[in-house]
Amino acid sequence: MDFNFRRELGKMTPRISEGARIYIFGAGANWDQICKLYRYLVNIDISEYVDGFIDNDAGKQGTLFHGKAVCALSEIDLRNSVILICVASDNANNDIGKHLASVGMHWRRSFFTCDCFMILLMRWEYLRLRQFQGRHKGERCFVIGNGPSLTAGDLDKLKGETTFATNRIYLMFSRTGWRPSYYAVHDASIIKNYHKSIKDKVTCPIFYAANSVCEIDEFSFIDDYFYFIDLRNDWKPDPSGEVIFSEDPLILQWGATVTYDCLQLAAYMGFKEIYLLGMDHTFPLAIKKDGALITNEVDGHFTESYHSKSSPYNCAVDMSTAAYQAAKEYADSHNIKIRNATRGGKLEVFERVDFDSLF
């Protein structure tokens, strides 16, 4: 279902069903950012749902902003209006809220603070993601890494299996008839540089980290899904044993690898057997938690053309290892088996299993 701003706002206040007009308090740059967010995440021009703008600046009153009239608060019918405050300053939000309350309006009925714009997006997307809850209860799946051990021949064996893949896996498509069942990406540089290739070549449900898309021109989540990366794990000086495993598909925990996103999504979907393939956990360049630089004479991916030569990023290897350990602990306590079917590599957090024995 397409996102309809008026319909979604109507779930929070009965005034909308009573025919109330929608006004935005604040005709400034913050509205431009809100418009950009809605354009990227739900592909709408939110200004089309707005009846007008309110601003205390007399110089703006009587002008047009985003094609709608800007007026003073005294010029609108408060009995038939819903006002959404859209200013960047918390103090200004509070001052405007106090003023609206003083003229008989009520918070979360006839006026809302600026956080409502994000709340509406997240409520809508949360309901979309709930269709995946328990969808594959009791089944098995494969989470595909992009390490140097990954081969087209092994992927051919996964035809008919439920699989998760990530990032630039599409570079393997010319060599195999296999295609993933689900795809996820959270790396900002990959999304920025390759989002057109992803949209062109990946045909399964795509999960994007919304944190990484809002600086990309002409991007849209049409027919796809978004989630948010919770970066609290990165605040901790020692991630060992402290990384969280999320049960909420909208807020996934950061583990320095998109594979961790896939493991959290797979658990949410109800899989009880999860096998890793191509998860070598080897990196030509890696950063330890104390900032030490680790260099290795190894390949990082299944093809040399995987990363652009100008990519400034490398792996936070201690964080990703801690994330895998958190996934193992969660799986062990929830009757989920995560096994590593990678041919070789250095990921020893999970029990090893021979890939060929699975068929």
> What is the CA 319 to chain-centroid distance, rounded?
19
The CA distance from 16 to 9, in Å, is: 7
Q: Which domains does the chain have, with CATH numbers?
A: 5-127 (3.40.50.20), 133-358 (3.90.1480)
* Nearest Cα to Cα of residue 16 among 99, 108, 152, 93: 108
Identify the pLDDT of residue 308.
52
Give the tokens for residue 283.
């990196």
Give the tokens for residue 265.
């999504």
Q: What is this structure's pTM?
A: 0.91
Identify the pLDDT of residue 300.
67
CB 296 within 8 A of CB 282: yes
Regions in the chain scoring below 50 on pLDDT:
310
The CA distance from 131 to 9, in Å, is: 22
Q: Residue 263 carries which DSSP code?
A: H
